[in-house]
Amino acid sequence: MVSCKNSGCSLQDLNMQKNTKLGWIGLGVMGGSMCQHLMSAGYPMSVFTRSKDKADTALSNGATWCSTPAEVARQSDVIFTMVGQEQEVRDVYFSADGLFAEEVAGDIRGKTFIDMGTTAPALTLKLATYAQQEGAQFIDAPVSGGDVGARNASLSIMAGGEDAVINEAKVLFDHLGKVKIMGAAGSGQHAKMCNQIIVAGTMIGVCEALLYAKSAGLNCEKLVDAIRPGAAGCWTLDNLAPRILKDDFTPGFMVEHFIKDLSIAVNEIKMMGVQLPGLALAASLYEKLNAMGHGKSGTQALLLALEDTND
């Protein structure tokens, strides 16, 4: 049996033998489905998540529970992370029992770490630099597509890192969606910022259109069906407008996580010296929505903030 540890073996070689040991940290709205796709493909999986009950499905399907991220690092050849806030990312990697903990630091050579959450580019570069210094590989691979894309394995994956490393990992990414190489470390996160800027502006447009339609006495379901095939057609109109019309604000992607993403984008454009008024408006509206108590709701709950503005 081929062992990846300290061998420099290729992921493609390991994939053919189905003995690549995977690790997954973060089994939330999207992470749980993503992890399951890789398990269904036949990869052995070790998992860790802060709330162990979120790992129930993975464990019942054969995953191995690890009590710390460090344990995941020790047991795995390729480790995926999919966590929310920046401090969580720092803790998962750099805490005393994290992936880069001192107890495993000398043991990660040849391993590949893949961050599939949305992380500030500066922190991404810090993670990539540390991994490289220890003889490991790091890919920033944030995704777009929400809970639907995660369940359907149709995510858009924006990857930053060394081309050769990403190409080797493609055999794993293909079980989750379609990957595009965006450039060096951090480029995946910059691409995700572009994605979120578009998503934020589109969500405002969809919610405002529905408010307009309601005020004009239109049937909103008929409106969505009428405009979907035209120039207004978009993922948000297809996937989230129907939820809005049913007053379904359960999260495909949580408001509090979107606020985090938009905050990263706002900070980045400040450093670039660029002004994006649409981004600033979206960020302020989502902050308002959060203040209304909807931090755990889906991003489509933006309608509620706009309705409140008109009361």
Return the structure tokens found at 20.
């690549």
Contact in structure between 206 and 231 (CB atoms under 8 Å): no
Pairwise CA distance, residues 92 & 15, whole Å: 26
192 assigned to active site:
yes
Pairwise CA distance, residues 152 & 183, whole Å: 26
> 79 in the Ramachandran plot: left (φ > 0), alpha (ψ -120 to 50) or beta?
beta
Assign 300 to helix, strand or coil. helix
| Surface-to-core class of residue 293, CB atoms within 10 Å of its CB (0-12 exposed, 13-18 middle, 19+ buried) | exposed
- Enumerate residues 6+ apart whose C-beta is below 8 A from 71: 46, 48
303 closest CA partner among 229, 246, 219, 223 = 246
Return the structure tokens found at 151.
């369940």
Q: Which residues pair with 78 in a beta bridge?
A: 22, 112
User: Which residue's entry shows tokens 């949305």?
Assistant: 118
Active site residue: 21, 111, 126, 192, which one? 192
Q: Strand 112-115 and strand 64-65: pairing?
A: unpaired
63 closest CA partner among 75, 149, 171, 74 = 75
User: Which residue's entry shows tokens 């447009």?
Assistant: 205
User: Which residue's entry shows tokens 């309608």?
Assistant: 303
The torsion of the CA quartet 24, 120, 299, 266, rounded to 10 degrees, works out to: 180
Active-site residue numbers? 192
